[in-house]
C-alpha cells in the first residue's frame, strides 16, 4: 500500500441488523482513532431508517440488498433475501468501490461481516485488502467451524459434546441450529458459510477479548489466525480514550432515552431488573404473559423493552396496572440503562452484544435465550464467567412465571449475588484493560493495522 497522510480508507460492511451494525460501527471508530478514515456502508433501507450523520472522519454510505423499501420484511423468506442480497449486494458494493476510486480517498480495506463473504470476493476483484469480522464469540464460531469442516457430525447422537478449548457442552448449550435440527435452515447455511472463504481473508477479527475465552481462542487459532479486538463498546464506558464516543449513535428503533433515565434516577441502587430481548427475537404470547406475571409478582422494580411489534402480546391493562413499579419502553439506550446505578440485573435473551455489554459494564444476568448463539452464550455466562443464572425451559418451550421470579430473586438477592457481582466486576476490569492502550485487544488492533499497512 502506498504511504498516505492517513492510515488508509476502510470500508466497513455490516450484515443489516442492529446487533451487527453496532460492533462494526464501534470498530470503525477505533480505527479512526488510529489514524484511518472509515466509511460504514449499510443497506439503503437501513440508511433511510437510521438516518446516520457523517462526520469528518466517520462517514456513511450505502449499498443495496435488493430490498430498498423494507429490508427483510420485503422478502418472501430469508432464503430469498440472502440469495438476492448476494447478487445485488455484490454489484452495488462494486459500484461503491468504483465511486470512491477516483477520489482523494479510494477504499483500500474492506472489513466485512463474516455473514457476508460476498464482500471478500468483490474486494479481491479490486485487489483490496479484505478482513472478515466475526460478531459472535470464538466458542460459537469454533462450533460452526467444526460443523462446516465435518469434524462435528450432525445430528448429534451422543452427549456431552467435547470440542477442544470449549467446556463440555450438552445439546441445549449448542447453537439452536444444531440442537434443533432443521430449524432456520437459511440462517444455518449462512453461519456455516462464514468459513467458505475465511482462509482467504487477509485478516480475521473477532468481537471478543482474549481474557474472556483464552482456551477457545488458543484452540481455534491453531486452524485459523484470529485477532480478538473487542469489546466493541463505546469508549466512554471502557477506556474513555475516544472523544465523544458515548453511544453507538445508530438506532433501528425510536429511542425513549430521557424517559428511562428520569425513571431510573428515582430508584434506589441495585433495585431494578432490566429486561430486553434484543432487536430480532419475537416471543410467543404465552411467554410474554409469563414474563408479565412474573414481573408483577416479583417485589423488584423493572424496566422492560417491548418493541412496538411485541406490544400487543402484553396482557390487557398490564402497563396501567403496574403503575410506578415498572416502565415499559419500545427501545432504550441500553448502555445508558445498564450503566445506571439503579440496575440490579439484566434479564436478557443473551444476544452477544447484550451479553458483552453486560460483562463490560459489570451487570449480573438472568439468561432466557431464544435461538441461534444465545444458548451457548448463556452456558458461558452461567458456567464459565459465572455472572448469573439461566432460566429453565419447560417441555412446552416456555419459561414459566415461577422460574422467572425465582431466577430474578436469585440474582437480585440470593446467596450467590455477591459472587455474581464480584465476577461481573472482574470481567469489567478485564474488558477495560483489554481495550486500553497496551491491552490484548488494543495490541491486536495494532497488529491488524500493521498487517494492512504492510500488505
Ligand atoms: N439495544 C439497544 N436498545 C434496546 C435493546 C437493545 O440499544 O432497547 C442494543 C444493544 O445495546 C445491543 C443490540 O441492540 O447492542 C442488540 O444486539 P444483540 O446481539 O444483543 O441482540 P440481537 O438484536 O442481535 O438479537
- The CATH number linked to 158 is 3.40.50.2000
Residue 113 appears among annotated catalytic residues: yes
Q: Are 447 and 306 members of one domain?
A: no
Would the CB of 377 count as within 6 Å of ligand 1?
Answer: no
Is residue 93 one of the residues assigned to a domain? Answer: yes
Is residue 405 one of the residues assigned to a domain? Answer: yes
Q: Which of 9, 47, 82, 113 is catalytic?
A: 113
Which residue has cell 455477591? 418
Torsion of CA 103, 109, 114, 120, to 10 degrees: 80
Is residue 250 one of the residues assigned to a domain? Answer: no
Per-position b or e across 252-288, b if 16+ CB within 10 A of its CB: bbeebbeebeebbeebeebbbbbbbbbbebebeeebb
Q: Are 424 and 285 members of one domain?
A: yes
Ligand 1 pocket test: pick from 175, 277, 279, 349 the residue with the most ligand atoms within 8 Å of its Cβ: 279
Per-position b or e across 50-65, b if 16+ CB within 10 A of its CB: bebeeeebbbbbbbbb
Ligand 1 centroid from CA 136, angstroms: 13
Q: Are 315 and 284 members of one domain?
A: yes
Q: Which of 20, 47, 82, 349 is catalytic?
A: 20
Q: How far apart are CA 378 and CA 382, in angstroms?
A: 6
- Count of domains observed in the chain: 2
Q: Are 223 and 349 members of one domain?
A: no
Residue 20 appears among annotated catalytic residues: yes
Is residue 103 one of the residues assigned to a domain? Answer: yes
**How far, in whole angstroms, is CA 285 from its chain's centroid?**
25
- Neighbouring CB atoms inside 10 A of 151's CB total 12
Per-residue pLDDT of the chain (455 residues; tens, 9 = 90+): 444 446 899 999 999 999 999 999 999 999 999 999 999 999 999 999 888 888 776 899 999 999 999 998 999 999 999 999 999 999 999 999 999 998 999 999 999 999 999 999 999 999 999 999 999 999 999 999 999 999 999 999 999 999 999 999 999 999 999 999 999 999 999 999 999 999 999 999 999 999 999 999 999 999 999 999 999 999 999 999 998 899 998 888 888 778 999 999 999 999 999 999 999 999 999 999 999 999 999 999 999 999 999 999 999 999 999 999 999 999 999 999 999 999 999 999 999 999 999 999 999 999 999 999 999 999 999 999 999 999 999 999 999 999 999 999 999 999 999 999 999 999 999 999 999 999 999 999 999 999 999 89
Q: How far apart are CA 238 and CA 240, in angstroms?
A: 6
Burial class (CB in 10 A: 0-12, 13-18, 19+), 308: exposed
Q: How far apart are CA 400 and CA 290, in angstroms?
A: 6
Q: Are 351 and 392 members of one domain?
A: yes
Per the CB < 8 A criterion, the answer to whether 435 and 231 are in contact is: yes
Ligand 1 pocket test: pick from 17, 19, 377 the residue with the most ligand atoms within 8 Å of its Cβ: 19
In which domain, by residue range, is 312 found?
257-430
Is residue 287 one of the residues assigned to a domain? Answer: yes
Q: Are 36 and 17 members of one domain?
A: yes
- Please say whether the dihedral angle defined by the alpha carbons of residues 45, 83, 281 and 169, taken in this order, is positive or negative: negative
Is residue 248 one of the residues assigned to a domain? Answer: no
Q: Are 303 and 225 members of one domain?
A: no
Measured in residues, the chain has a length of 455
Q: Are 288 and 235 members of one domain?
A: no
Q: Which atom of ligand 1 is least distant from the CA of 23? A: 15
Would the CB of 372 count as within 6 Å of ligand 1?
Answer: no
Amino acid at each position: 500500500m502506498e504511504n498516505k497522510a492517513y492510515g488508509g480508507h476502510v470500508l466497513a460492511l455490516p450484515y443489516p441488523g442492529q446487533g451487527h451494525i453496532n460492533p462494526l460501527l464501534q470498530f470503525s471508530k477505533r480505527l479512526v482513532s488510529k489514524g484511518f478514515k472509515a466509511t460504514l456502508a449499510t443497506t439503503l433501507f437501513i440508511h433511510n431508517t437510521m438516518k446516520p450523520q457523517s462526520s469528518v472522519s466517520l462517514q456513511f454510505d450505502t449499498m443495496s440488498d435488493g430490498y430498498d423499501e423494507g429490508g427483510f420484511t420485503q422478502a418472501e423468506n430469508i432464503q430469498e433475501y440472502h440469495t438476492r442480497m448476494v447478487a445485488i449486494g455484490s454489484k452495488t458494493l462494486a459500484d461503491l468501490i468504483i465511486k470512491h476510486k477516483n477520489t482523494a480517498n479510494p477504499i483500500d480495506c474492506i472489513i466485512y461481516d463474516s455473514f457476508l463473504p460476498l464482500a471478500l470476493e468483490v474486494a479481491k476483484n479490486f485487489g483490496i485488502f479484505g478482513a472478515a469480522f466475526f460478531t459472535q464469540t470464538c466458542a460459537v464460531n469454533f462450533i460452526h467451524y467444526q460443523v462446516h469442516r465435518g469434524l462435528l457430525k450432525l445430528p448429534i447422537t451422543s452427549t456431552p459434546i467435547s470440542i477442544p478449548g470449549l467446556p463440555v457442552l450438552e445439546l441445549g448449550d449448542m447453537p439452536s441450529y444444531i440442537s434443533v435440527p432443521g430449524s432456520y435452515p437459511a440462517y444455518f447455511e449462512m453461519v456455516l458459510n462464514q468459513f467458505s472463504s475465511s482462509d482467504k481473508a487477509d485478516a480475521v477479527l473477532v468481537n471478543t477479548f482474549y481474557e474472556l475465552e483464552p482456551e477457545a481462542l488458543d484452540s481455534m487459532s491453531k486452524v485459523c489466525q484470529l485477532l480478538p479486538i473487542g469489546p466493541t463498546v463505546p469508549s466512554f464506558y471502557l477506556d474513555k480514550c475516544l472523544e465523544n464516543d458515548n453511544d453507538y449513535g445508530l438506532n433501528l428503533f425510536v429511542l425513549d432515552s430521557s424517559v428511562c433515565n428520569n425513571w431510573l434516577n428515582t430508584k434506589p441502587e441495585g433495585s431494578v431488573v432490566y429486561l430486553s430481548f434484543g432487536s430480532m427475537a419475537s416471543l410467543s404470547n404465552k411467554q410474554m404473559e409469563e414474563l408479565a406475571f412474573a414481573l408483577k409478582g416479583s417485589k423488584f422494580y423493572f424496566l422492560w423493552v417491548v418493541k412496538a411489534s411485541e406490544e400487543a402480546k402484553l396482557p390487557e391493562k398490564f402497563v396501567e396496572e403496574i403503575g410506578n413499579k415498572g416502565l415499559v419502553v419500545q427501545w432504550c439506550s441500553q448502555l445508558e440503562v445498564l450503566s445506571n446505578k439503579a440496575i440490579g440485573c439484566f434479564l436478557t435473551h443473551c444476544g452477544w452484544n447484550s451479553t458483552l455489554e453486560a460483562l463490560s459494564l459489570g451487570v449480573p444476568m438472568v439468561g432466557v435465550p431464544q435461538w441461534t448463539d444465545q444458548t451457548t452464550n448463556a452456558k458461558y455466562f452461567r458456567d464459565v464467567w459465572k455472572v448469573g443464572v439461566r432460566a429453565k425451559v419447560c417441555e412446552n418451550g416456555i419459561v414459566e412465571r415461577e422460574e422467572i421470579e425465582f431466577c430474578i430473586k436469585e440474582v437480585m438477592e440470593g446467596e450467590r449475588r455477591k459472587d455474581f457481582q464480584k465476577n461481573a466486576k472482574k470481567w469489567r476490569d478485564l474488558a477495560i484493560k483489554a481495550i486500553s492502550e497496551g491491552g490484548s485487544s488494543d495490541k491486536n488492533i495494532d497488529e491488524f493495522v500493521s498487517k494492512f499497512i504492510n500488505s
